[in-house]
């Protein structure tokens, strides 16, 4: 197709017709200079420019606030070892530059995902030559599946209209971008020719608007890249930490084998919070169980026996359905059984008698639990509340006029209670805030429904994190047993059909 010839005379006629309009800005500046108003005009121009720049900066900040791109964080139930791995992932995400990782380069994005997995693998397998390959193919595909699902959900919820823009629309817009930019540059050149002053002002405004839009766009791209790294690293931590399940069901939705053996399924439709009551013989453990449950369920004042912990259903307002387990006295409890019972608990109530000074057994057992928790950062230690029982037996024994204010102790009884609490805190190396003085005697029940119950509720969130991690471990073991049985059954079927296939 031949191009139309350019009529220079018509262009000359157009230029002559627009010459007065093009000369108007220059004549205006000349008039301002002649009237000695040019400095005032330049000052007003500078002031308006600064005001406009400040307004654009405020609009930029407002656009970023309205965008509300919330970053994801670690799972609240993770143990300390997983938190350390997450710090590696977060450091990688924080150092990303959107210019280095274009979203349309699939190869680079795959390398970025591998870097996130490698950061986690190096934490869990520092001695391996290729730590990233210390996982199975199904687990690798599970990481991709979960990370893509979460990123898609975040994209839909965080960026408006993202679900209505197709990939074809984006490709078509990119193809037209070069043509549109060429036409726009031609129009800008013509505008500068015929109205230079207005064109300069519009160019400045456009530059500021472009900066604002570019900043918001850069924030969106950075957030997408960071979320890609965070989500990939999150599930890599679950895989290398041995906690990722192939099933999406909540592991707390059904009782673990230990809880199911202690309570009927009808009484425990889901996994309860497991509260373990520990303490020396005659410290008041059974009395505490009865006080919490509101009924005489556990035997009190019986000869100490070495028996498995008994479990009692606990349902109180504000608390997740729980099992209270009354364990044997620490005096005859082997260390292995103590550690096993603590690992199977979500919250520990440690009972100490206020009128007894023999706390060496309590200190030894507590130190064993602390050492076990330090040696296994892949677990979460259950929160601890020390129940200081038998405060009514402190001197003077005949006095009992609660309530007692230990912060401003005027009576002799209050001072002795405060002294006993301080002694327990020193002997067991615990903060006083973890110790609650109570009376569990019949007819003298004190500080159980308020102070002790409040301490339990304060630690419920942490106890629920321990429960979640415990249920994940139990679900993972059950999932492995089910998978092994399925694989063996299918292998047996193949072996049974093998002679027929060979004969065929």
Whether residue 502 is contained in a domain is answered as no
Residue 329's CATH number? 3.40.50.300
Q: According to the model, what pLDDT value does residue 3 have?
A: 47
Same domain, 235 and 273: no
Same domain, 349 and 295: yes
CA distance 145 to 139: 10
Whether residue 272 has pLDDT greater than 50: yes
Instruction: Give residue-wise pLDDT tens across range 321-371.
Output: 888 988 888 987 888 999 999 999 999 999 999 999 999 999 999 999 999
CA distance 408 to 426: 20
Same domain, 216 and 268: no
Neighbours of 477 (CB within 10 A): 12
Q: According to the model, what pLDDT value does residue 168 have?
A: 62
Whether residue 418 is contained in a domain is answered as yes
Mean pLDDT of the chain, nearest integer: 79
Strand order in the sheet with 384-389: 310-314, 322-326, 273-279, 347-353, 384-389, 435-437
Q: According to the model, what pLDDT value does residue 303 have?
A: 43
Percent of the chain past pLDDT 90, that is, above it, reads: 30
Same domain, 270 and 419: yes
Q: According to the model, what pLDDT value does residue 208 have?
A: 43
Phi, psi dihedral angles at 324 (to 5 degrees): -100, 120
Whether residue 21 has pLDDT greater than 50: yes
CB–CB of 345/276 below 8 Å?
yes
Same domain, 209 and 149: yes
Same domain, 235 and 298: no
Same domain, 209 and 343: no
Smallest Cα–Cα separation from 15: which of 199, 200, 194?
A: 194
Lowest-pLDDT range, 26-30, 202-206, 301-305, 465-469?
301-305
For the segment 247-272, the average pLDDT, to the nearest whole number, is: 66
Last residue of a domain, one of 214, 240, 266: 240
CB–CB of 341/329 below 8 Å?
no
Whether residue 438 is contained in a domain is answered as yes
The answer to whether the predicted template modeling score (pTM) of the entire model surpasses 0.85 is no
For the segment 57-69, the average pLDDT, to the nearest whole number, is: 56
Percent of the chain past pLDDT 70, that is, above it, reads: 75
Last residue of a domain, one of 240, 268, 303: 240
Lowest-pLDDT range, 119-123, 156-160, 321-325, 429-433?
156-160
- Bigger pLDDT: 95 or 45? 95
- Bigger pLDDT: 131 or 300? 131
Same domain, 182 and 268: no
Distance of CA 476 to the CA centre of its chain: 21
Q: According to the model, what pLDDT value does residue 308 have?
A: 57
For the segment 259-279, the average pLDDT, to the nearest whole number, is: 73
Instruction: Give residue-wise pLDDT tens across range 224-235.
Output: 888 889 988 988
Instruction: Give residue-wise pLDDT tens across range 84-134.
Output: 899 999 999 999 988 888 877 778 888 898 899 999 999 999 888 888 888
Smallest Cα–Cα separation from 437: which of 385, 395, 384?
A: 385
Whether residue 67 is contained in a domain is answered as no
Q: 403-439 burial by CB neighbour count: b if 16+ within 10 A, else e? A: ebeeeeeeeebbebbbebbeebbebbebeeebbbbbb
- Bigger pLDDT: 182 or 381? 381
For the segment 200-228, the average pLDDT, to the nearest whole number, is: 63
Whether residue 20 is contained in a domain is answered as no
For the segment 13-42, the average pLDDT, to the nearest whole number, is: 76
Whether residue 273 is contained in a domain is answered as yes
Whether residue 313 is contained in a domain is answered as yes
Q: According to the model, what pLDDT value does residue 188 have?
A: 53
Same domain, 154 and 300: no
Please name every residue paired with 446 in a beta bridge, in sequence order, or none if there are none.
Answer: 439
CA distance 135 to 131: 9
Whether residue 152 has pLDDT greater than 80: no
Last residue of a domain, one of 179, 207, 240: 240
Same domain, 137 and 207: yes
Provide the number of structural domains found in the chain.
2
Whether residue 197 has pLDDT greater than 50: no
Q: According to the model, what pLDDT value does residue 434 have?
A: 95
CB–CB of 205/55 below 8 Å?
no
Local structure of residue 254 (DSSP, 8 states): S
- Bigger pLDDT: 419 or 14? 419
Same domain, 289 and 318: yes
Whether residue 153 has pLDDT greater than 90: no
Phi, psi dihedral angles at 66 (to 5 degrees): -65, -25
Using pLDDT thresholds of 50, 70 and 90, give the confidence band for residue 458: very high
- Bigger pLDDT: 227 or 248? 227
Whether residue 61 is contained in a domain is answered as no
Whether residue 2 has pLDDT greater than 60: no
- The residue segments making up the domain with residue 125 are 80-240
- Bigger pLDDT: 302 or 384? 384
Q: According to the model, what pLDDT value does residue 439 have?
A: 95
Using pLDDT thresholds of 50, 70 and 90, give the confidence band for residue 436: very high
Local structure of residue 450 (DSSP, 8 states): I
Smallest Cα–Cα separation from 347: which of 244, 453, 474?
A: 453
Same domain, 315 and 455: yes
Range among 236-240, 348-352, 490-494 rated most confident? 348-352
Task: Dump strand ranges (E) for 382-450.
Answer: 384-389, 435-437
First-residue to last-residue Cα distance in the chain:
71
Whether residue 211 has pLDDT greater than 50: no
Q: According to the model, what pLDDT value does residue 140 have?
A: 80
């Amino acid at each position: 197709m031949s191009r139309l010839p350019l009529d220079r005379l018509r262009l000359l006629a157009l230029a002559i017709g627009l010459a007065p309009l093009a000369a108007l800005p220059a004549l205006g500046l000349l008039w301002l200079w002649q009237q000695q108003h040019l400095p005032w005009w330049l000052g007003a121009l500078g002031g308006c420019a600064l005001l406009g720049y400040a307004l654009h900066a405020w609009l930029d900040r407002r656009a970023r606030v309205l965008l509300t791109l919330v970053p994801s964080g670690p799972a609240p139930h993770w143990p300390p070892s997983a938190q350390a791995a997450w710090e590696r992932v977060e450091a990688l995400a924080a150092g990303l530059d959107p210019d280095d990782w274009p979203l349309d380069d699939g190869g680079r994005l795959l390398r970025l995902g591998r870097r996130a997995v490698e950061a986690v693998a190096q934490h869990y397998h520092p001695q391996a030559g290729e730590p990233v390959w210390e996982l199975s193919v199904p687990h690798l595909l599970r990481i991709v599946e979960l990370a893509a699902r979460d990123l898609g959900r975040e994209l839909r919820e965080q960026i408006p209209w993202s679900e209505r823009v197709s990939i074809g629309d984006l490709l078509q817009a990119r193809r037209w971008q070069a043509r549109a930019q060429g036409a726009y540059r031609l129009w800008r050149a013509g505008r500068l020719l015929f109205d230079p002053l207005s064109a300069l002002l519009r160019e400045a405004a456009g530059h500021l608007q472009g900066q604002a839009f570019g900043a918001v766009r850069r924030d969106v791209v950075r957030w997408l890249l960071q979320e890609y790294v965070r989500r990939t690293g999150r599930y890599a931590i679950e895989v290398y930490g041995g906690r990722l399940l192939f099933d999406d069901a909540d592991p707390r939705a059904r009782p673990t084998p230990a809880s199911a053996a202690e309570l009927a399924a009808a009484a425990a439709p889901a996994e309860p919070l497991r509260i373990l009551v520990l303490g020396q013989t005659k410290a008041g453990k059974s009395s505490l169980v009865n006080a919490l449950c509101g009924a005489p369920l556990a035997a009190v004042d019986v000869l100490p026996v070495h028996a498995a912990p008994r479990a009692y259903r606990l349902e109180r307002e504000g608390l997740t359905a729980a099992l209270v387990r009354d364990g044997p006295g620490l005096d005859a409890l082997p260390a292995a059984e103590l550690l096993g019972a603590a690992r199977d608990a979500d919250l520990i109530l440690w009972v100490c008698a206020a009128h007894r000074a023999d706390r060496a057994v309590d200190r030894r057992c507590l130190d064993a639990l602390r050492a076990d928790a330090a040696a296994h950062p892949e677990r979460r230690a259950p929160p601890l509340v020390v129940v200081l029982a038998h405060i009514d037996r402190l001197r003077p024994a005949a006095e009992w006029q609660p309530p007692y204010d230990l912060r401003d102790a005027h009576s002799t009884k209050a001072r002795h209670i405060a002294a006993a609490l301080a002694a327990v805190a020193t002997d067991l190396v615990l903060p006083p805030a973890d110790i609650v003085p109570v009376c569990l005697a019949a007819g003298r029940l004190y500080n159980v429904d308020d102070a002790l119950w409040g301490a339990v509720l304060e630690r419920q969130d942490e106890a629920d994190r321990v429960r979640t991690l415990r249920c994940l471990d139990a679900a993972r073991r059950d999932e492995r047993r089910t998978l092994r049985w399925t694989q063996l059954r299918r292998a047996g079927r193949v072996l049974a059909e093998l002679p027929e296939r060979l004969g065929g």
